[in-house]
Structure 1
């Protein structure tokens, strides 16, 4: 594990996003970094496509992630 120095504004954005997403600040930073790396490596994919592929790679069946309304994803 290493230390990464980031701008104070970005750190504040991480702090706020981590609270909303129920992640630690470090976990939120790791998530943003991973998604950013995947987006750069796959510029033709949309965010939902990246997430779907990551869920498939983790062997999670379609529809396992509940929506706020209590339903499941299509």
Structure 2
């Protein structure tokens, strides 16, 4: 575990988003880091595709709310 220095502006965005997503500030930052890393490693995938693959990896079933 380590310390990552980020700008005050980014920290505020993490704080606001963590409130909306009901995550701790650290969990929100870790989520963004993970998704960003996966996006860089898989530039042809959309955000939704990345989430779908991560959910499948964890055996999470999703509920469709709209037709694709």
Q: Provide the residue aligned with 1:28 in structure 2.
A: 28
Distance 2:4 2:58 in 1: 27
1:2-41 paired onto structure 2 within 5 Å: 2-41=2-41
**How far apart, CA to CA, are the structure 2 residues paired with 1:10 and 1:2?**
18
Query: Is 1:73 aligned to residue 61 of structure 2?
Result: no
TM-score normalised by L of structure 1: 0.83
| Alpha-carbon offset, residue 45 of structure 1 | 0.1
Q: TM-score, normalised by structure 2?
A: 0.90
Q: CA deviation at 1:58?
A: 0.5
Q: May I ask how many residue pairs the two structures share in their alignment?
A: 65
Structure 2 distance, partners of 1:20, 1:9, is: 17
Q: Which has the higher helix share?
A: 2
